[in-house]
Amino acid sequence: MINVAAIRMEQFGVHFYQASLTAKDVSRLVRFEVLSYGDQPGPAVRGRTSPARSKVRWDLLERRLAANEKAYQRQIIRKKIEELVQYYEQCREARNLPSIPGAVIISSDEALKFEPMDGDWPSLGVLKVPEREGILRAIDGQHRLLALHSDLEQFGHEQFTVPAVIFDRLPEDHVVQMFVTINAKHTRLNPSHLVSLAGRQLYADHNLAAAHDVIRVLSEREESPLRGQIKLLGVGVGKVAQAPLAQELKKLLEADAFGGGQKASEFREESKRFFVNYFRQIALIFHGAWNGRKYSIRTAPALRAFIRVAPDVVRRLDQERAERTDSRAIGRVIAPWGRRIGDLRFETEGAWKRNGSGVDQLAKELRLALQYPEGAAF
């Protein structure tokens, strides 16, 4: 184990650490990798430099780089590494500026142990990092760390520490979304890179992969009423984040809420068509709210509630021996929502605020309307 002084922090229930790593720790523990493009792998490094003038041993650096389908980093830019190395040397010679003053963002593949200090400061302590090569992955700052790695021989015995924000075993889709959100604007990621990141290969969990497939279709298919409304991978013009919708759907798939065994397998194949038709019928039933400006029906809480009760709708379709993807049958099953709930339930400054905008409350109302289509007190 390597003991690292750290501050434990928390934001929205997620713990992470602000720590100080030595240059040698970074060189040894951080795994450098770029995304390969399936059957047509691109080079790990792009751009050209003159070998005679270059201060970077590119042959050694490229051997340190891995390329695989589960990475998310774009190709390494030679010019950027060359410029960073040159800047590091200027800082070392002038001794008037730090070369990496800002924190790099790193995710650990394995669990980290935090031992708080005794006394009144439980957030201060020692972070124990397993001493294994490649245990850490760079989310933001890979070029800076690669330049540091390539220039490390010039440091000699000089003390050099790098500020780092370290996450402990972030889910793969969260890592990708954070990477894209950080980089999409100011680094102008190539659109083809974003498409690759959105691919199924990133999600080893089949349920999560199926969930993201559904969300992507809802956002992109022409006949979907949610086309362009979902912010995929943290970018785009949509107003609803992808992650909470995908997580909601993933929970249902994990619990076999749409049926187990063969039915579950079949539903994964037909789920994209089902959800497009399902939301098309929702948009028709709540036409005024769906197309109005002063309603909250196309917000994350409302959409999550509709996803949460989808298994109840599917069970009704099965009871009626109707096809699960039949748009008219879906509309017939959820028709009571128009009578029992209505557009006004989603009026932002009205019932939405007065009766509650939580997912649980709305899902409860939707279920009751399905159970008692002719009327019963909520």
DSSP 193-261: HHHHHTSGGG--SHHHHHHHHHHHHHHH-TT-TTTTTEEGGG-SS-SEEHHHHHHHHHHHHHTTTT-SH
| Residue-level pLDDT at 40 | 43
| Residue-level pLDDT at 181 | 66
Contact 300, 240 (CB under 8 A): yes
Distance, CA of 245 to CA of 249 (rounded, Å): 6
The secondary structure of residue 293, as a DSSP letter, is: S
pLDDT at 67 over 50: yes
- Which of 8-12, 40-44, 96-100 has the lowest average pLDDT? 40-44
| Average confidence score pLDDT of the chain | 81
Distance, CA of 211 to CA of 251 (rounded, Å): 9
Give tens-digit pLDDT for 73-110. Answer: 566 777 888 888 888 888 888 888 888 888 988 888 88
pLDDT at 202 over 60: no
- Do you know the residue count of the chain? 378
Q: Is pTM beyond 0.85 here?
A: no
| Residue-level pLDDT at 289 | 95
Residue, of 127 and 148, whose pLDDT is higher: 127
Tell me, rounded to whole angstroms, the distance of Cα 269 from its chain centroid: 23
Residue, of 234 and 89, whose pLDDT is higher: 89
pLDDT at 186 over 60: no
Contact 47, 77 (CB under 8 A): yes
Give mean pLDDT, residues 151-178.
Answer: 79
| Residue-level pLDDT at 68 | 58
pLDDT at 200 over 50: no
Give tens-digit pLDDT for 326-360. Answer: 999 999 999 999 999 999 999 999 999 888 778 99
Distance, CA of 285 to CA of 288 (rounded, Å): 9
Strand 14-22 relative to strand 2-11: parallel, antiparallel, unpaired?
antiparallel
